[in-house]
């Protein structure tokens, strides 16, 4: 039987360009590769995930819908009932949309990049999550480091700086890889690129991230 917990995973962060859409698409691609019925909710008025599905020349392995409205948390439970897994690709900016997406999620991943600017900006993201938890106490959230470049001093410093925040950091980091941008430009995820040798490492880290989300949820439930 498929373990569907957490069912709704939000990729949320008010800072722009941190990897919300990239991670949403690839996590959706991973869960779909397991045979799950996956819905990707594009909650960003920019419509990046919708553009991604339009760039594709065949049917997407998961459903993509646009829902950039601040009442997602009210509408999503009914829409989600037809799916095993729902991924929310959030919008940048400070508005009611992010709050609604936080409340709609079971598990929130906050992508951050290995940069001092992301460390300075993360306080706002933490505050938003804490505020959402006051309304939804079973909401789980964690940072995920995206665009990591291996063995750099800044990478290590940033991991330490995020670990010192009052907020968990996923052990799995997603590396800077050209394949993520290449796939996105043709409406694919790394799980559609089984012939590309460069896709293998990307598939592995996305799979690890997905498994770690499941483990964190299990630990929280124990």
Q: Which stretch binds Mg ion (CB under 5 A): 12-20, 110-118, 168-176, 185-193?
A: 12-20
The one of ligand ATP, Mg ion, none whose footprint includes residue 154, by CB under 5 to 8 A per kind, is none
Q: What is the DSSP string of 199-214?
A: HHHHHHHHHHHHHHHH
Which whole-number Å values give the CA distances from 98 to 67, 72, 95, 103, in the listed order?
Answer: 12, 10, 6, 9
Binding mask 198-217 for Mg ion (x = CB under 5 A): --------------------
How many beta carbons lie within 10 A of that of residue 171, not counting itself? 14
The one of Mg ion, ligand ATP, none whose footprint includes residue 140, by CB under 5 to 8 A per kind, is none
Is 15 among the residues that bind Mg ion (CB under 5 A)? Answer: no
Is 41 among the residues that bind ligand ATP (CB under 6 A)? Answer: no
Identity of the residue, 48 or 165, whose beta carbon is nearer to Mg ion in the bound complex:
48
How many beta carbons lie within 10 A of that of residue 167, not counting itself? 17
Q: Which of residues 79-138 bind ligand ATP (CB under 6 A)?
A: 92
Closest CA to 108 of 83, 60, 73: 73
Sheet holding 140-148, edge to edge: 63-66, 38-42, 85-89, 8-11, 107-112, 140-148, 174-175
Q: Which of residues 20-79 bind Mg ion (CB under 5 A)?
A: 20-21, 48
The one of ligand ATP, Mg ion, none whose footprint includes residue 174, by CB under 5 to 8 A per kind, is ligand ATP
Name the burial class of residue 62, with classes exposed (0-12), middle (13-18) and buried (19+) by CB atoms within 10 angstroms of its CB: buried
Is 146 among the residues that bind ligand ATP (CB under 6 A)? Answer: yes
Shortest reach from residue 78's CB to ligand ATP, in Å: 26
Of positions 2, 3, 5, 17, contacts ligand ATP by CB under 6 A: 17
The residues of the shown chain that bind ligand ATP, judged by CB under 6 A, are 16-22, 44, 46, 48, 92, 146-147, 174, 176-177, 180-181, 184
């Amino acid at each position: 039987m498929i373990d569907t917990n957490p069912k709704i995973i939000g990729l949320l962060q008010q800072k722009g360009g941190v990897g919300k859409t990239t991670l949403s698409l690839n996590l959706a691609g991973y869960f779909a590769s397991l045979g799950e019925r996956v819905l990707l909710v594009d909650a960003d008025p920019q419509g990046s995930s919708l553009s991604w599905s339009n760039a594709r020349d065949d049917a997407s392995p998961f459903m993509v819908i646009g829902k950039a409205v601040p009442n997602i948390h009210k509408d999503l439970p009914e829409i989600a009932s037809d799916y095993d897994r729902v991924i929310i690709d959030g919008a940048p900016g400070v508005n009611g949309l992010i709050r609604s997406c936080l409340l709609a999620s079971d598990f929130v991943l906050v992508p951050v990049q290995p940069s001092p600017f992301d460390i300075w900006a993360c306080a706002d993201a933490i505050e938003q999550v804490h505020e959402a938890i006051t309304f939804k106490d079973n909401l789980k959230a964690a940072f995920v480091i995206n665009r990591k470049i291996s063995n750099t001093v800044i990478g290590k410093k940033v991991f330490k700086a995020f670990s010192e925040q009052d907020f968990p950091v996923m052990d799995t980091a997603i590396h800077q890889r050209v394949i993520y941008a290449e796939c996105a430009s043709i409406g694919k995820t790394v799980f559609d690129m089984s012939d590309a040798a460069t896709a293998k490492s990307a598939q592995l880290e996305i799979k690890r991230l997905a498994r770690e989300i499941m483990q964190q949820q299990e630990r929280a439930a124990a």
